[in-house]
Chain A
Amino acid sequence: MLLVVEQLLNGLQFGITLFLMSAGLTLVFGIMQVINLAHGSFYMIGAYVGATVTVYTGSFLLGIAAALPASAVCGMVVEIIVLRKLYNREHLDQVLATFGLIMFFNELTRIIWGRQPLFMDVPPWLSGNIELLPGLFYPTYRLAVIGVGILVALVLWLIFSRTRIGMQIRAGASNRDMIGALGVNIKLLYTLVFGMGTALAGLAGVMAGPILAVESGMGESILILTFVVIVIGGIGSIRGAVAGALLVGLVDTMGRAFLPALFRFLFDSATADSAAASLSSMAIYILMAAILVWKPKGLFPAHS
């Protein structure tokens, strides 16, 4: 039972990381109608900058403080130089150009930081465990990640539903020509939204740093999961991103944790292990295919 709770928390923590990635990307999809494969690159930039600053200054908070503007600025520069030229192009052009961006950023990090992965330590004040229930110890750092994710979700919700800029962003998502005609500086709005999205990706990257290895190409594996989240949730919908991220996080973690045991019930151990291994790594893709067959526009489509 405690194991189930622990794995649920792990799933939640993974889901929150995915949410931080998807929130930015789904806005870019929904508002600008742009496919950005390079979103994972900003996650990587956040992780690298955060890890480097943390090592130099010894402070994890300074690492986060440096990673956020670094990925936001990189994002905005990329938006101004490359993506602006692609807003009116076909999806295929956007896919190819951002594929080129991935190549560029992966190689650039290899030149700057080398091929060896960097490892970040959990800051001392977040290391250790907290006893959540009698007998259930859970790493403080992971709890902190969950807390930050919930905080970000709340702040995003406040921005979108309570502020003027949030209103403009929502209006841009439903009809961008109209909001331009009403005198809103659409170009600036797009750049800001893009920068906000990449800053969130950078935050996800730097927080994943102490859990995963920081290496070139780390953005791609999470990028594809982020796509799965967005497609499940519905493109352009923050609510969908929350639901999709939690669903994917939980299904992936629970599948990896419990499928082998479940399969050992049913088959002999050799078959069970290999079947469980392949099924658990395919589980979220099966989930996505099933949801798309049932609801081709995702669970919470933004433009319905």
Chain B
Amino acid sequence: MNPLFRKYVCIAAVALLLAILPIAASMLGQEYYISLFSRILIYAIAAVSLDLLLGFSGMISLGHAAFVGIGSYVVGIFFYHSAEMEPLLTHPFTVQGSENGLIVIPLAVLVSAIFALVIGALSLRTKGMHFIMITLAFAQMIYYFFVSLEKYGGDDGLSLYARSTLPGLDLGNDLQFYYLCLLLLSLFLLFTTRLVASPFGIVIRGCSNNERRINALGINAYGYKLACFVIAGAGAGLAGALLANQTEYVSPGLMHWTLSGELMVMVLLGGLGTLFGPVLGAAAFLLLEEFLAMYTEHWMLYLGPFLILVVIFAKRGLYGVLVGGGKDHG
């Protein structure tokens, strides 16, 4: 079969499955799956954003969860101030809390992007192993910052008593929330596939192959990589904002480095540098976790070695299995 055709068939099948899943779940009386799959869609957004770094630009960030955490805390902190009727900032100008999704979700994306800009600008001075570790260190720095932030619950985190409000939608309704996540994931995938195919994306992929050559062509590789890092951070922030809404709870645990590791696992499991793969990877990882946890409390004992086998033997993950091993990117 023509691999491109096979790719479109697979994507259409997954999209159709995700679109009818909540309807089927409510007909079968298994509403639990709606919230499980909402979580999968949200992690998929984070994993796709990480794939931009790992799979396309060759920047191995072990601190991606920090941006998920920042996004979720923006939603959490604004909700807290809105519920307490206490302004978030009084000086130099007044900022009130908010529960309005049209304000807090874009703001979460923006704040994550700003953090990614600062962290990326410093981290990108280093390469290779140093980059892996400095991103990890920045994530830990932010993690400890929120752990010691007593006002917002410190280690215990913050509980939200409701989800954000959006005009015309009731996010408290799991079905509507699911479709919002699906819509945002689809838009994000559309954006990222266009991005990696654009001239920008070509430069980014060039940087991962041979940065020196890109610089020799008169292109400032640093700027391109930084822009890519910021976009990925913003995507993770979006995931964080949705995750805070889904669980109605934010805590520093969201930026713990094990979550960064798990996001990496999702990308790899689904297929590195494929964008659609990480969606499958997020689904596979969370379902596997759910499924193994039903049989044994020690599911990590099996997941760990399984992961090692995937790393050693299956290069393009689930996407490679479904679509075939041919490289269609870079």
Contacts and interface: CB of A to CB of B under 8 A. Distances in A.
Contacts of B62: 95
A277 B127 CA distance: 31
Interface in B271-330: 272, 298-301, 303-308, 311-312
Contact of B311 (A97, A227, A228): A97
Interface string A15-58: 00000000000000100000101000000000000000000000
Contacts of A150: none
Given A91-B60, A296-B130, A99 B137 contact: no
B150 A274 contact: yes
Interface residues of A, number: 46
Contact of A292 (B130, B258, B308): B130
Interface stretch (B9-17, B94-102, B138-146): B138-146
A113 interface: no
Contacts of A298: 130
B144 A282 contact: yes
A245 B149 CA distance: 28
B301 A297 contact: no
B133 interface: yes
B223 to A, nearest CB: 17
A92 B141 CA distance: 22
A265 to B, nearest CB: 20
A293 B132 contact: no
A231 interface: yes
A275 B310 CA distance: 44
B126 interface: yes
A37 B132 CA distance: 11
A111 B301 contact: yes
Interface in A282-301: 282, 285-286, 288-289, 292-293, 296-298
B221 interface: no
Interface string B138-168: 1011001101111100000000000000000
B311 A288 contact: no
B299 to A, nearest CB: 8
Interface residues on B, range: 35 or more
Interface stretch (B172-180, B185-193, B197-205, B261-269): B261-269
B141 A282 contact: yes
Interface in B67-114: none
Interface stretch (A102-110, A118-126, A141-149, A197-205): A102-110
B218 interface: no
A105 B303 CA distance: 11
A89 B134 CA distance: 21
B129 interface: yes
A223 to B, nearest CB: 9
Nearest to B311: A97
Nearest to A29: B129
Given A100-B305, A224-B257, A277-B148, A92 B129 contact: no
B54 interface: yes
A102 B300 CA distance: 9
B126 A108 contact: no
A111 B299 CA distance: 11
Contacts of A89: 311
A285 B140 contact: yes
A288 B141 CA distance: 10
Contacts of A97: 307-308, 311-312
Nearest to B147: A281
B300 A99 contact: no
A296 B312 CA distance: 31
Contact of A278 (B137, B145, B303): B145
A220 B268 CA distance: 22
Contacts of A96: 261, 264-265, 268, 307, 311
B304 A230 contact: no
B28 to A, nearest CB: 33
Given A99-B261, A278-B149, A281-B147, A91 B132 contact: yes
Given A104-B301, A285-B138, A35 B265 contact: no
A235 interface: yes
Contacts of B299: 107
Interface of B: 54, 60, 62, 122, 125-130, 132-134, 136-138, 140-141, 144-145, 147-151, 257-258, 261, 264-265, 268, 272, 298-301, 303-308, 311-312
6 contacts: A35-B132, A86-B311, A99-B307, A103-B307, A107-B304, A292-B130
Interface of A: 29, 35, 37, 82, 85-86, 89, 91-93, 95-97, 99-108, 110-111, 220, 224, 227-228, 230-231, 235, 274, 277-278, 281-282, 285-286, 288-289, 292-293, 296-298
